[in-house]
Chains A and B, each alone.
Chain A
Amino acid sequence: MENTLLELRGVTKRFGEATALAETSLSIHEGSFVAIVGPSGCGKSTLFNVIAGLLAPDGGEVRLQGEPVTGATGHVGYMLQKDLLVPWRTVEDNITMAARLTRRVNNVDRAEARRVATEYGLGDFLRHYPRALSGGMRQRVAFMRTLVTHQPLLLLDEPFGALDAQTRLDMQQWLLQVWRDTGRTVLFITHDVDESLFLSDRVLVMSPRPGRVVADITNPLARPRDMETLTDPAFIELKSRIMHLLHGGAS
């Protein structure tokens, strides 16, 4: 449990004059669920893109399982608010997309896609095209596509940001279930404080200009979490603390 999976050492990123990410160091334990909250422009997505290897940092180092992976790709699962399902592939073929993009899709990949989809409630939709699915279902497919990459670290960038409140709550509970079942490590970006507390073991609060981590808060709320968690006094207290950090004590 206490093994460090991901480590950032003094990572910085500038875009021209603007510092998108000031020197950032952090380490993420294997199997943990870490939420990152912050307003737009605080460098959350920049941080993700550096970890994923889409952006090379201007300074510092990214290590995954002790290996340096700075600026390299192919070592994380990655999911955005947009589901990025391709309309010309069925649900099954969308789930196996990572395999198709890196090697040949084989029967093991297909069997796994079917197994995961069946296990998490989309078994009847394997042969459907994405256009036939609701927003929540599409996000679930996108998550399954991320899951079957077998990467130990999943980067989720506001994955439920475009969903309505009810669907979002369902998806959050569903995500916790999958996370419990598979033991992956999750880094989860959101600007919704409730969501960050509901899901995580630990909340990193970020602030803009320059983008940086201003607080690292352990989330002690008991699991499993449900609707009751949202009205727990400990939840309210943590929420107000994070709100103060985000809005400079103005609220």
Chain B
Amino acid sequence: MTRKLLRNIGVPVLSLLLLLALWQAIVVGFNVAPYVAPRPWQAILSVTQNWSTIWPLALGTIRETVYGFLIGAFLGVFLGVVMAKIPVLQRSVYPVLVLSQAVPIIALASPLVLILGFSIMPKIVIVAWIVFFPVTVNVVDGLSHVDPDLINLARVYGAPRWRTFVHIEMPATTTPLFSGLKIGATYAVTGAVIGELAASEGSSLALYQEHANSNLNAAAVYGTTMVMTAIGISWFLLVVATEVAATPWQRRSVARRYPWRRARFETDGAASIVSSLSKGES
């Protein structure tokens, strides 16, 4: 257990530290000026020293990322299901969705700010815009690759279509669904930052960084980037944790015993007397 924990957490942390060491080595080795690129500890220090300014801004970025992601994820699943189930929609809507992703998101950001104002709304829309697509594509693929024999088996049992969907098709799509969500999670914070930049008014993490940039405060620029990256990574890890919790069968051989299930086990001693297996009984 400890070995596994060490490997799963220790190794990523170690590679992160190596990355910082490499950064340090390059900046020192090539004698890079501090206003071009700071030392890693200078960047970190600039964050910790200005934490009271940065944290509320970061909170705003987190809010945009999370709301946008959740809206994008639900929209993505909905579109994926609808398109997989209605072939006409798949043929007509899919090209539009591809088009929506081909439009450079930066070109979309400014008009969105004009339409929706300087509130949180345009940022949420941009994040959702980026997140829904990989989710939709993966859900459509997942639903169209469910084993047809499994669906036929459900038909032989006389299962109504909605039960087949709930108990067979959706669970069978969990893995591709989470692939889409993980891709979306890594891009979500990028969308939020683009939205903040396009707004160019009010206070936000992206504008804080812009301000530092124009002051030639490289430490603050790099520090802010680290904060943004940390938001992205944290959100990604949260999605991964959700996947792990939602798909115990991919790692475990035996199902966990839950207290409420144990209670159920004890109550049906009497029920077993009722059941029997004689021929043709229904």
Contact = CB atoms under 8 A, between A and B. Distances in A.
B241 interface: no
A108 B271 contact: yes
Interface string B220-233: 00000000000000
B202 to A, nearest CB: 46
Which secondary structure dominates where chain B touches chain A? helix
A73 B158 contact: yes
Given A100-B167, A107-B264, A116-B277, A74 B156 contact: yes
Contact of A84 (B147, B158, B167, B247): B147
Contacts of A102: 157-160, 163
Contacts of A84: 147, 149-150, 153
B249 A88 contact: yes
Interface in A11-59: 30-31, 52-54
Nearest to A65: B280
Contacts of B269: 111
Contact of A182 (B153, B160, B278): B278
A115 B275 contact: yes
B3 interface: no
Nearest to A152: B280
Chain B, interface residues (CB within 8 Å), range: 35 or more
B4 interface: no
Interface string A134-154: 000000000000011111100
Interface string A103-129: 000111111101110000000000111
Interface stretch (A75-83, A198-206, A214-222, A227-235): A75-83
A106 B271 CA distance: 10
A106 B272 CA distance: 11
Nearest to B252: A129
Chain A, interface residues (CB within 8 Å), range: 35 or more
In the complex, the 8 A-B pairs of residues with the closest C-beta atoms, listed nearest first: A74-B158, A152-B280, A132-B253, A111-B272, A101-B159, A107-B268, A183-B279, A112-B275
Interface of A: 30-31, 52-54, 73-76, 78, 80, 82, 84, 86-90, 97-98, 100-102, 106-112, 114-116, 127-129, 131-132, 147-152, 181-185
Given A101-B167, A151-B280, A182-B279, 11 more contacts: A54-B155, A74-B157, A84-B149, A88-B249, A102-B160, A106-B271, A107-B268, A112-B275, A127-B257, A182-B278, A183-B278
Interface of B: 147, 149-150, 152-160, 163-164, 167-168, 171-172, 174, 247-250, 252-255, 257, 264, 267-269, 271-272, 274-275, 277-282
